[in-house]
A = this chain, B = another copy of it.
Amino acid sequence: MSLQRVLIAGRWRDAESAGTFQSSNPATGEVLPGEYPVSGWGDCDEALSAAAAAADALRRTDPEQIARFLERFAERIETRKAELVECAHLETALPKSPRLADVELPRTTNQLRHAAAAAREGSWALPTVDTKMNIRSTLAPIGPVAVFGPNNFPFAFNGAAGGDFAAAIAAGNPVIAKGHPSHPATSRMLAEEAFSAANETGLPASTVQLVYRIKPESGLRLVSDPRIGATAFTGSRTAGLALKGAADKAGKPIYLEMSSINPVLILPGALAERGAKVAEEFAGSCLLNGGQLCTNPGLVLLLAGEATERFISAAKAAFDSATPPPLLSADVARSLAESVQVLRKSGAQLVTDTQVPAPGARHPNTLLRVSGEQFVADPDTLQTEAFGAASLFVVARDAAEAARAIDSLEGNLTGSIYSESGGGDEALYAQLAPRLRLRVGRLLNDKMPTGVAVSPAMNHGGPYPATGHPGFTAVGIPAALRRFAALHSYDNVRPERLPAALRDKNPNGRMWRLIDGEWTTSDYNRNPS
């Protein structure tokens, strides 16, 4: 069996290999064909130099051409859809339909097309013109972006095709993709299509590069290398914080989406009004894809009472009757079991009693409960993320205890509040929502957090340690592009030397620019007639 090749400096070539690995089918445990290299530092080093050269070329490239690349890449993914879905299914055990074929792959191509539109239109860069002082500014590409993709979205967050990839490219930067080792074949196929699309549309050959796996110390060097512009990482807190430490020390921006338990607060009026329906929504959201979503509702805060007990019973019934799907990998199953143990040792009581069917990497659907008092006494441990179909009910005695529980939450991506539709919970909402607001990036009403729409108003981000900076989002265009940019001001620069976005004439007639304090798509007319 020959070793798969990495994509570096515009060609598929043998890796400078520091080891090899294979992926396996988590549904069956069987090892999948294909042996993949663990790249040594030499691969990263060559990729960085090639990316630096590509970055220079991309700065001189018409955004229209970058847009065409992203669109062509989307088309090529669609052309190869059946094969991609089959491959990702084998590597992740995620269902082919609807998940991979009907949800995630269309989401991926949709993101690429959104990013293309943003690149073409250009407003994402907040071009700003001060005609009186003749100072003009715009966000500009930051340089090569390393994208570390997670295990749970083989397409939509893939380092070589996902949201971070699309945003980095649309902002004008080349990408060095670090595929997740649990789905190397999927990453390879996506990189093949990206590479072909780059060639077809005339982008620099090193616009997209791919390594499958690198040693941890290479990761630390990669994110802090002088040639890197920025890094995007989606994955575990442990790995994310290690990379952050290295990048911070080198003064290199790094955007992390690390962990989140996505608290859901269900107020008494909502339980009285529609407790069964909310339980159904909760179970549907928490069990979706084996619970392996960044926005999985991993903590439900309730006020003690009969309706809460009924809610818990209904959720238990749903969890007990659902068959746990195979998880993304044996590692995920092991890590989930460990987290559940941590929660139980901290006093969380098991609610569910699901059995695990063989074979494959599976874990029982798990619900646990603690009192508000217990939670507030040991909030750090009781916020251990149990990545999978697991959630912790925190049953507070009263609103004051619920408030204390909320105040002891770490930063999260999302927070949801269910309340009575007629306004019966308003006083509680007014007391608790402002506290939850400060702990989360996205606040939802009457809705579970899973489902992260690609909307300009989305925030798939939040306070530390959900991410590394509360001002940025990983999903949502145009904002996601602004992570991969540096602010460039031009002071008294001669008109013909300005970037097109900052000249008096609007470069495409559609770009929104802030001219003398007004957002407009018009040209600036120096001498209006």
**Top 5 nearest A-B pairs by Cβ distance?**
A251-B464, A519-B519, A459-B489, A470-B486, A248-B248
Contact check, A491 vs B137: say whether CB atoms are below 8 A apart: no
Q: Which of B414, B446, B456 contacts A517 (CB 8 A)?
A: B456
Q: Which of B133, B456, B457 contacts A453 (CB 8 A)?
A: B133
Contact check, B252 vs A494: say whether CB atoms are below 8 A apart: no
Which residue on chain B has the smallest CB distance to residue A247? Answer: B248
Binds B, one of A22-30, A207-215, A355-363, A429-437: A429-437
| Interface membership of A220, Cβ < 8 A | no
Known: A463-B486, A487-B479. A457 touches B129 (CB 8 A): yes
Known: A128-B457, A441-B488. A469 touches B253 (CB 8 A): yes
Interface centre among A59, A129, A133, A251 (most CB of B within 10 A): A251
CB distance from A55 to the nearest CB of B (A): 9
CB distance from A404 to the nearest CB of B (A): 15
Q: Which of B143, B456, B464, B492 contacts A444 (CB 8 A)?
A: B492
Find residues 32-62 in chain A having any chain B CB closer than 8 Å to their own CB.
56, 59
Q: Which of B447, B486, B497, B519 contacts A445 (CB 8 A)?
A: B497
**What are the residues of chain B within 8 A of A492 when measuring CB–CB?**
444-447
CB distance from A193 to the nearest CB of B (A): 28
Contact with B along A433-455 (1 / 0, CB 8 A): 11001100111111100000101
A465–B464 alpha-carbon span in the complex (Å): 24
Known: A445-B497, A497-B433. A130 touches B457 (CB 8 A): yes
CB distance from A113 to the nearest CB of B (A): 14
A422–B133 alpha-carbon span in the complex (Å): 22
Which residue on chain B has the smallest CB distance to residue A248? Answer: B248
| Interface membership of A21, Cβ < 8 A | no
Jot down 20 A-B pairs with beta carbons below 8 A, ordered by A: A128-B479, A133-B453, A135-B453, A250-B464, A251-B468, A253-B470, A441-B487, A441-B488, A442-B491, A444-B493, A445-B491, A445-B493, A445-B497, A447-B492, A457-B490, A459-B488, A459-B489, A471-B483, A471-B486, A519-B519
| Interface membership of A268, Cβ < 8 A | no
A399–B442 alpha-carbon span in the complex (Å): 52
Contact check, A457 vs B248: say whether CB atoms are below 8 A apart: no
| Interface membership of A403, Cβ < 8 A | no
Contact check, A443 vs B488: say whether CB atoms are below 8 A apart: yes
Contact check, A471 vs B482: say whether CB atoms are below 8 A apart: yes
Find residues 476-529 in chain A having any chain B CB closer than 8 Å to their own CB.
476, 479, 482-483, 485-494, 497, 512, 514, 517-520
Q: Which of B136, B470, B472, B494 contacts A457 (CB 8 A)?
A: B136
| Interface membership of A244, Cβ < 8 A | yes
Chain A interface residues (CB < 8 Å from chain B): 56, 59, 128-130, 133, 135-137, 139, 142-143, 244-245, 248-253, 411, 414, 429, 433-434, 437-438, 441-447, 453, 455-459, 461, 463-465, 468-473, 476, 479, 482-483, 485-494, 497, 512, 514, 517-520
**What are the residues of chain B within 8 A of A465 when measuring CB–CB?**
251
Which residue on chain B has the smallest CB distance to residue A518? Answer: B512
A507–B320 alpha-carbon span in the complex (Å): 49
Which residue on chain B has the smallest CB distance to residue A252? Answer: B464
Contact check, A487 vs B470: say whether CB atoms are below 8 A apart: yes
**What are the residues of chain B within 8 A of A411 when measuring CB–CB?**
251
A414–B487 alpha-carbon span in the complex (Å): 12
Identify 11 new A-B residue pairs, CB closer than 8 A, beyond the known A251-B411, A442-B490, A445-B491: A128-B456, A128-B457, A251-B464, A253-B469, A441-B486, A443-B488, A443-B491, A456-B517, A470-B487, A471-B482, A471-B483
Q: Which of B56, B135, B248, B472 contacts A487 (CB 8 A)?
A: B472
Contact check, B497 vs A429: say whether CB atoms are below 8 A apart: yes
**What are the residues of chain B within 8 A of A494 when measuring CB–CB?**
445
Contact check, A458 vs B137: say whether CB atoms are below 8 A apart: yes
Which residue on chain B has the smallest CB distance to residue A128? Answer: B457
CB distance from A281 to the nearest CB of B (A): 12
Contact check, A458 vs B253: say whether CB atoms are below 8 A apart: no
Known: A433-B497, A457-B135. A489 touches B253 (CB 8 A): no
Contact check, B135 vs A471: say whether CB atoms are below 8 A apart: no
**What are the residues of chain B within 8 A of A136 when measuring CB–CB?**
457
**What are the residues of chain B within 8 A of A249 when measuring CB–CB?**
245, 248
**What are the residues of chain B within 8 A of A137 when measuring CB–CB?**
456-459, 476, 479
